[in-house]
Amino acid sequence: MLIPYHENFNLRSTTSNWNSSDSESTWVTHQNNPRTAKKLAYLGWSGANDITYSINSHGFRDVEFDNRQCGIALGCSFTFGVGIKQEHTWPAQLSQMTGTYVWNLGVGGASFDTAFRLGKYYIGKLAPKFVCLLIPPMSRFEHCVDTNKYTVTNVHDFVDTDKQGFFKEWFGNSENIESHQEKNLLAIKQMCSEYSIPIVHFCPLDDWEPKNQNARDLLHPDQESNIGMATMFNNKLHS
């Protein structure tokens, strides 16, 4: 079976100093703005060498997979850790708290569909002791565009541009989006149940409000917020 495609698939086995919204162009824009430049300096962000994004051969921000005892973290950019160091992400912090290595399967821009599809493949491959899911925004959905290739779209893009027909009716009604989210959650829970693996899940904004957005891109949660997220998962795992 082919390794599942996702948004970071083309970055496999690469290392860089920038990723997604934490881009060099974003940094330059912030440096040209006295307010954001001052904020970045105050936070201790000094430039490209602050962060390294090392992507393994499966396209994830982690070392190469092996057969160690482990947990799995599923989610989007909040899990991947855009704008912060790898060791400051909540999966890395959770690894320290639990004493069990937590593989970071977060993908920037991912949808709940993405998390389901990756979980379907990697839960069986990595045999985790537990699965932690930080639910991506329910406005995102994924669809196949080619053989083993998928793309994620935000439903608001359709609602704003399509004024009639199926797109407006389906994506314009919250009941459809909420049902779509619930089906993915139930599917992942069922997968974990089949392997007798506990699953813990939280939804950003509903269960967890990031303390601040002090990552290097000034959009994503910083180390302190990620520690808070890891603590929530750790507490739930041991409750």
| Domains present along the chain, CATH in parentheses | 9-237 (3.40.50)
Q: Looking at 1-15, 48-62, 92-106, 141-155, which range is the least confident one? A: 141-155
How many percent of the chain have pLDDT more than 90? Answer: 74
pTM of the model as a whole: 0.90
Average pLDDT rounded to a whole number, residues 3-20: 94
Alpha carbon distance 130, 89 (integer Å): 18
Interval 110-134: pLDDT, tens: 999 999 999 999 999 999 999 999 9
- Based on DSSP, count helices (H) and strands (E) in the chain, helices before strands: 9, 8
Alpha carbon distance 99, 160 (integer Å): 46
Interval 80-89: pLDDT, tens: 999 999 999 9
3-state SS of 58-94 is CCCCCCCCCCCCEEEEECCHHHHCCCCCHHHCHHHHH
Q: State residue 1's pLDDT score.
A: 54
Distances (CA, A) of 57 to 10, 30, 48: 10, 32, 23
State the DSSP string of 146-185.
ETTEEEEEEHHHHHHH--SSHHHHHHTSHHHHHHHHHHHH
Q: State residue 209's pLDDT score.
A: 75
pLDDT-derived band at 159 (thresholds 50, 70, 90) equals: low
Evaluate if residue 172 carries a pLDDT over 80: no
152 or 22, which is more confident? 22
Interval 175-220: pLDDT, tens: 878 888 899 999 999 999 999 999 999 987 777 777 788 999 999 9
